[in-house]
C-alpha cells in the first residue's frame, strides 16, 4: 500500500509542473472566449438595431405607398 501511495505521489508531483504550465494557457483561452462572447454580443446588438431601423423604414415606405395610392384614387376620381 505504501509503495502504491509513494508511486502515486511521485506521479502527481511529476505532473504538477505540467499542470502549472497549462494554467496560463487555460486562462488565455478563457480570456479569448470572453472577448469573443463580448464581440458576438456587440454584433448581435448591432444587428438588432439594424433590423429595428429597417422595420421602421419599411413602415414609413408602406405609409407612403398607402398615401400615394389614396392620392391616385382621388385624382382618378377627380379627372373622371
pLDDT tens digits, residue range 19-77? 777 888 888 999 999 999 999 999 999 999 999 999 999 999 999 999 999 999 999 99
pTM for this one? 0.47
> Can you spell out the DSSP letters for 19-70?
HHHHHHHHHHHHHHHHHHHHHHHHHHHHHHHHHHHHHHHHHHHHHHHHHHHH
CA distance 44 to 27: 26
pLDDT of residue 65: 96
Q: How confident is the model at residue 14 (pLDDT cuts 50, 70, 90)?
A: confident
What pLDDT is stored for residue 67 in this prediction?
A: 96
Distance, first Cα to last Cα, the chain: 109
Amino acid at each position: 500500500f505504501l509503495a502504491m501511495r509513494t508511486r502515486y505521489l511521485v506521479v502527481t508531483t511529476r505532473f504538477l509542473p505540467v499542470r502549472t504550465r497549462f494554467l496560463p494557457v487555460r486562462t488565455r483561452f478563457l480570456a479569448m472566449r470572453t472577448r469573443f462572447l463580448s464581440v458576438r454580443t456587440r454584433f448581435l446588438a448591432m444587428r438588432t438595431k439594424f433590423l429595428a431601423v429597417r422595420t421602421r423604414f419599411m413602415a414609413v415606405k408602406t405609409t407612403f405607398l398607402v398615401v400615394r395610392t389614396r392620392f391616385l384614387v382621388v385624382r382618378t376620381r377627380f379627372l373622371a
